[in-house]
Structure formats: C-alpha cells, structure tokens
Amino acid sequence: MAARRRVVFNKKGGVGKTSIVCNLAAVAARRGRRTLVVDLDPQGDSTRYLLGERAPETAPTLKEFYEGSLGFSLLPDRPLADFVHPTGIPKLDVVPSHRELGALEEKLQSRYKIFKLRDALGKLRYDEIYLDTPPAVGFFTVSALVAAERCLIPFDCDDFSRQALYLLRGHVREVAADHNPKLEIEGIVVNQFDARARLPQRLVEELEAEGFPLLRPFLSPSVKMRESHAAGRPLAVLAPRHKLAGQFEALYDALPG
Ligand SMILES: Nc1ncnc2c1ncn2[C@@H]1O[C@H](COP(=O)(O)OP(=O)(O)OP(=O)(O)O)[C@@H](O)[C@H]1O
Ligand SMILES: [Mg+2]
C-alpha cells in the first residue's frame, strides 16, 4: 500500500511546523509504522531535531538529491532511498536538509523540478511520510504540497495568524487545483494554546464557527518542547509520560485517517 503522506505547512515562521512533523512522526514510529521525515527547510531544524549531534556530518542530503536531478552532482539522479538515513529511533528515518539547499531554488524552479519529490517518494516503501517545509511559499514548499495528500496547518493562536489562515487555505486549494487533486487540508493544529487566556479561546471559537477543521487536542505550551529540540530527541522518546507527549499521541489518534 502507498505511504500516507502529510505536509505541515504555514508560511509564518516559528508556529510549530518542525515540532509537529517530528513529534507526530515519532509517535507513528512508536506505533510500529515505518516512518520517514523529509526536511525540505534549508534551516535544517528537523534534521537537527532527529539526528542531534550527528546532523552536520550526515550525508548525502536532499541538496545532493536535487543537484543530481540538475545534473551537477557526482550522484546523478539517484533514487531518494540513497539519501535516507536512520535516526536511531526504531522505524524512523530522515532525508536530511542542507543549509545550501536554498541556493538551488531558482534553478530547480526554472527547470520544472516541482514533481521530482512526489515521483521519488512514490518509489519508497514507508507507511507514513512527513514533510517539513520552510516558512515561505517557494519551490520546496510547493514541491511538498504537490507530493502530499494531506496537509496540516499549525495555528499559533495569534490574531494575525487567524487572518493568514484564509490565505494559506487559498494556497493549498490552488496547488490542489493546478497540480495535485489528491491534496486535502486534514486539519488545523492549534499549538501553544493557553487555556486560561481569553484571546486564544475566542480565536478558536471564531475559526470553528467559520468552518475551519480544528484538530484536538490543542497543544499546550511547555518548556519541554525546547528541551526536546535541544536534546535532539522527540518527546515520545525523551519524555513519553509528559503531558505534551500525551497530547501528540492523542492528536495522532485523532487524525482523520
Ligand atoms: N507547544 C510548544 N510549547 C513550547 N514551545 C514550543 C511549542 N511548539 C513549538 N515551540 C518552540 O517554538 C519554536 C518554533 O517551533 P518550530 O521550530 O517547531 O516552528 P516552525 O514553524 O518549524 O519554525 P520555522 O518556521 O522557523 O521552521 C521552537 O523553539 C520550539 O521549541
Ligand atoms: Mg521549522
């Protein structure tokens, strides 16, 4: 059976894309699902989160994969499987990013490589694939939207982010209409939700009234998240009994399918 492919997308920075990708992927792996994370962000945050200290020397990366597709690599057009690395967490692999990935963007765009990732992922054998994207709507984010069938949108309970949701929904619908009829918004992941404050409560009620599919549970703010990034180990591994780890488990179970 083909892998379930999820992209986590929001062009706003710091809303929790990487945290959601890596923690849901770690939950999936713990449930025995063969799981892959592809880090399409040149910042390489998922790469560091999953590989920890080994991140800088882990090669080849997505950069060499794309260089191969352009014909300027020693690894011309090799299958994506050659760029997959084990994370050390059972059943969880990663295709790492590289800080110079961004320099390829224009070339890849002008040479119509937008379907490269989709086609390459189709040849891999995984149960679930999670795609982390940079905070922009450029070549890499669109490639991920083209390659996925489900899209999760993190929402950080900010008034500006609420307005931006309409735009984000528009981007997803446009990519779906132009390139990927399978793509659906699976839901909005509410992150750093402070249940005691009034504004976040009001915002989520408004969004629900407007028909946005908010997934539950909402994720709490916790310093454990930063500790987990710093340790290079997702919460399901670092602190499986922590409240936030439990919320990721419940969120994974609540995903429509
Ligand atoms: N629920 C949470 N509680 C506390 N801190 C959080 C939570 N979610 C994310 N963070 C912190 O917020 C910061 C940004 O999170 P993250 O890197 O996941 O966002 P992002 O959307 O991937 O950012 P970017 O757009 O830069 O890629 C990180 O330092 C992370 O530890
Ligand atoms: Mg990120």
Structure tokens at 129: 């694939």
Q: How far is CA 140 from CA 71, 76, 93, 113, 115, in A?
A: 18, 20, 20, 10, 11
Report the domain count for the chain: 1
pTM passes above 0.75:
yes
What long-range pairs does 193-198 form, CB within 8 A, spacing at least 24? Answer: 193/157, 193/218, 193/219, 193/220, 193/221, 194/157, 194/220, 194/221, 195/220
Q: What is the residue range of 8's domain?
A: 4-254
Residue 15 is part of a domain; what is its CATH number?
3.40.50.300
> Ligand 1 centre and the CA of 157: distance in Å?
13
> Would you say residue 2 has pLDDT above 90?
no
User: Percent of the chain, pLDDT > 70?
Assistant: 99
Mean pLDDT of 68-82: 86
> Ligand 2 centre and the CA of 38: distance in Å?
12
| Helix/strand/coil for 169 | helix
Report residues whose beta carbon is within 6 angstroms of any ligand 1 atom: 13-19, 41, 43, 45, 135, 191-192, 219, 221-222, 225-226, 229
DSSP H helices in 75-134:
105-110, 116-121
Q: How much is the pLDDT for 17?
A: 98
Spatial neighbors of 205 by CB under 8 A, at least 6 apart, are none
Mean pLDDT of 96-121: 97
- Ligand 1 atom with the smallest distance to the CA of 192 is 1
Q: How much is the pLDDT for 108?
A: 97
Rounded to an integer, what distance in angstroms lies between the CA atom of residue 190 and that of residue 210? 15
C-alpha dihedral (46, 52, 58, 60), degrees to nearest 10: -10
Rounded to an integer, what distance in angstroms lies between the CA atom of residue 87 and that of residue 61? 14
Structure tokens at 104: 């390829």
pLDDT tens-digit series, residues 157-206: 998 899 899 999 999 999 999 999 999 999 999 999 999 999 999 999 99
pLDDT tens-digit series, residues 15-27: 999 999 999 999 9
For residue 217, what pLDDT band results from cuts at 50, 70 and 90?
A: very high
